[in-house]
Amino acid sequence: MIEAKRVFDEEEFTERPRFLYAELRGLLGEFNHRVELPNGQEMVILYGPNGVGKTHVLEFIHHALRGDWFRLQDMPFDSAEIGYDDGRALRFRFELTDRGVESDSPRRRALVSNAAPPLLVTLETDEATHVWQGPLRDFSDASPMMIRRVVERELGYRRVEPDMYLQPASDKRLSFAEVVSAESKNIHKFLSSRYLDASADLQTVIPDAMQDYIDEDSSILVETQRLIMTQAGTPTTRERSSQPLLAIDQVSRSVQSLMEQALADNSRLSQRLDRTFPSRLFEPDAQVASSEKEIRQLHQDQQDFRSRLANYHLGGEDESNVELPQRPLESWEVKVLGRYLQDSARKLESFHQLLDKLDLFMNTLNSRFFRKRIYLTSERSLAIENTRGDTLTVSDLSSGEQHELILLKYLLFDTNPGSIVLIDEPEISLHVSWQKAFLEDLSHVSSISSLRFIIATHSPQIINNSWHLTTPLGGPIDEW
């Protein structure tokens, strides 16, 4: 059993309204889904048959919470809602208003057809109704050459005659007009992306009252290709899919950065406390240990903590640490040592959360890796070796080990406290025994980093004994 200690302050995460539920109506033309994650609950698990839109639900929540509302314009739903713990909700529907509409191109004012109205987002408060309107888009003036390029390069149709195409997978013969009719939505999507990427005047301003409900760091989407994370500022999906596997030195940098920050915080605090130590000796403080028993217990606790730090070459050689004499302590020694150990405890605070994360990271991975171990070198870099002592790279690990390493590193060291993490099909590449332990691992991560999780899975082994946390999508289970 890996133990984790909750060390965050809940009050730090109560300034912004917190996500409570998402509701999508008419998803894929027929499904109505509602996902709830109440305050105090660390995760919810979505399960259901293929085709009910589990991935769409995760993507909607992700883009809605981050304010990436342009990305919702081509999602297959009729209307949707994101609810917060202050009782308010952001509502999404496809409707044209005359507010805040901008062109999608600096060259022209776009027109919109009734068949494809833009996304409208509203927030009603006691004072007013706030509105964000997506850009109007009409690509009716796109050249046939551009449409053919999308059909052939993006959708995979192969031209066999001047006006005839073979449909991917089925090899069914379709005329160009039939292809355009059958693929109109996808053609619009690719042309939309082209225009959106090239446009210089697309950033429709989100009203300040609505900004309080979005945060680009509040949501992390872990896709089925979870060795590559969706983060703010990352390249497009196509560009990300061609990137090389995340290397061990990149994982090391995240860990080293946190260690350096903890050391810097410790150094600044130590200098301040050491400068003021003489004057504070004469100040009363009820929190200072005042008995020899308390002094010895506090000293032992700090010794144990320094031993844990030494495992990671972090603060283990503290020259200011003192050994207590075996004889009974004098009263003046109790007073001085009480103040001294109080200062030492404050200096060590900068390492507490980092140490809990490092312990959970190392212990979890070393319990999973087969005949391998991961550790920190004296230079505080991550390294992997096999039982013979040979140094390994990430590419030497199995796909399941790679997924476990990258995901755990990302959740522990690269996410902001209070974020919602959406994980699609975590069972990919995981052994059955690892699947059964997955939710327990997430629970330990949540206890340290204050993360909440929404998980979409097909695996009963992932759910294991946590059916009380599940939300079925797709109707009664006997219909699956």
pLDDT given for residue 26 in this prediction = 94
Reduce the DSSP state of residue 56 to 3 states and report it. helix
pLDDT tens digits, 266-323: 888 888 888 888 887 777 776 677 788 888 888 889 888 888 888 888 764 455 567 8
Tokens of 366: 């070393």
Give whole-number Cα distances, 64 to 27, 388, 411, in Å. Answer: 15, 49, 21
Distance between CA atoms of residues 438 and 223, nearest Å: 16
pLDDT given for residue 70 in this prediction = 79
pLDDT given for residue 236 in this prediction = 38
Residue whose C-alpha is closest to residue 107's, from 188, 189, 201: 201
Beta strands in 134-205 (DSSP E): 158-161, 164-166, 173-175
pLDDT given for residue 261 in this prediction = 83
Distance between CA atoms of residues 398 and 430, nearest Å: 10
pLDDT given for residue 196 in this prediction = 45
Looking at residues 364-376, what average pLDDT do you find?
Answer: 90
pLDDT given for residue 21 in this prediction = 96
pLDDT tens digits, 90-119: 999 988 765 444 444 433 334 444 446 788
Looking at residues 212-219, what average pLDDT do you find?
Answer: 82
pLDDT given for residue 10 in this prediction = 44
pTM: 0.73
Burial of 155 (C-beta count, 10 Å sphere; 0-12/13-18/19+): middle
Residue whose C-alpha is closest to residue 75's, from 192, 222, 238: 192
Looking at residues 9-37, what average pLDDT do you find?
Answer: 82
Distance between CA atoms of residues 197 and 70, nearest Å: 11
Distance between CA atoms of residues 203 and 100, nearest Å: 11
State the DSSP code for 373. E
Residue with tokens 């900068």: 350
pLDDT given for residue 78 in this prediction = 93
- Percentage of the chain exceeding pLDDT 90: 24
pLDDT interval class at 409 (50, 70, 90): confident
Tokens of 252: 């090391």
pLDDT interval class at 385 (50, 70, 90): very high
Residue whose C-alpha is closest to residue 413's, from 257, 264, 309, 260: 257
Radius of gyration (C-alpha) of the chain in whole angstroms: 28
Residues 6+ positions from 422 with CB-CB distance below 8 Å? 58, 61, 62, 219, 220, 221, 222, 453, 454, 455, 456
Does residue 154 have a pLDDT over 60? yes
Give whole-number Cα distances, 195 to 36, 103, 201, 355, 407, in Å. Answer: 36, 11, 11, 48, 34
Pairwise pLDDT comparison (153 vs 238), residue with the higher score: 153
Looking at residues 355-372, what average pLDDT do you find?
Answer: 91
Distance between CA atoms of residues 212 and 228, nearest Å: 29
pLDDT interval class at 176 (50, 70, 90): confident
Does residue 187 have a pLDDT over 60? yes
Beta strands in 37-171 (DSSP E): 43-47, 79-84, 89-94, 119-124, 129-133, 158-161, 164-166
Least confident of 38-52, 53-67, 141-155, 365-379: 141-155
Least confident of 28-37, 228-237, 437-446: 228-237
Give whole-number Cα distances, 206 to 18, 199, 209, 399, in Å. Answer: 19, 18, 8, 41
pLDDT given for residue 253 in this prediction = 76
- DSSP annotation string for 227-286: TS-B-TT---HHHHHTSPPPPHHHHHHHHHHHHHHHHHHHHHHHHHHHHHHHHHTTS--T
